[in-house]
Amino acid sequence: MGVHWRSDTPCIRLGMRHPWTRVSPERRSHLLFPLMGLCGLATVWMGWLGQPIDVGLPGSGILALEFCWWGHRCADLMATWSHPSVALSGLYGDYLYMVVYAATLGLAVVQARPHLSARWARLGEPLAWCVMLAAGLDALENLALIRLVGGAVGPEAAVAFVCASFKFAILALGLGYAAAGALGFLSS
């Protein structure tokens, strides 16, 4: 496959280079696996933080709260939690997690570009920017969820739903892109 990506993507034309593209490819290669390890540890940590609120029912954890949409459904969901205040520590901890997963997935996307066809490689840098956008959507979502857990009644549930929907869609695209790049690397 080789390096076939073109430098005329919309981001390049606007002078908006992704921060990871400013780092040499050799250095990026050395950073990817440690960041992946850190992201894995952070994922385990976030799961551990969420354990006390998950009552073992399907759709009873913080993920269910992200997608409950209506305030009264969210209140019913939170009423099943044994320790609702623990949700706040998970939501605040998620702000650190955002930095880790955005850096890791953004780097993985940038590293995937040279191992894809020219058509797909052009999408790499804009997608890496979108991963940063996903972290911003996650931050806004968490703000809405913090207000919900605090008892707010208003558009918070809908805001969290919309932000979570776009966030997960972007992250799924980023993971798919990075996986395709890894397969391209392994097959070359």
pLDDT in tens, the chain (188 residues): 444 444 445 555 556 788 888 888 889 889 999 999 999 999 998 888 766 565 555 566 788 889 888 777 888 888 888 777 778 888 998 999 999 999 999 999 999 999 999 999 999 999 999 999 999 999 999 999 999 988 887 899 999 999 999 999 999 999 999 999 999 989 87
95, part of any domain = yes
27, part of any domain = no
pLDDT of residue 60: 64
pLDDT of residue 126: 92
**Domain carrying residue 82:** 35-50+60-187
4, part of any domain = no
Which residue in 42, 28, 40, 43 sits closest to 185, CA to CA?
A: 28
pLDDT of residue 74: 86
67, part of any domain = yes
pTM comes to 0.84
145, part of any domain = yes
pLDDT of residue 5: 43
pLDDT of residue 162: 97
87, part of any domain = yes
Domain count for the chain = 1
13, part of any domain = no
143, part of any domain = yes
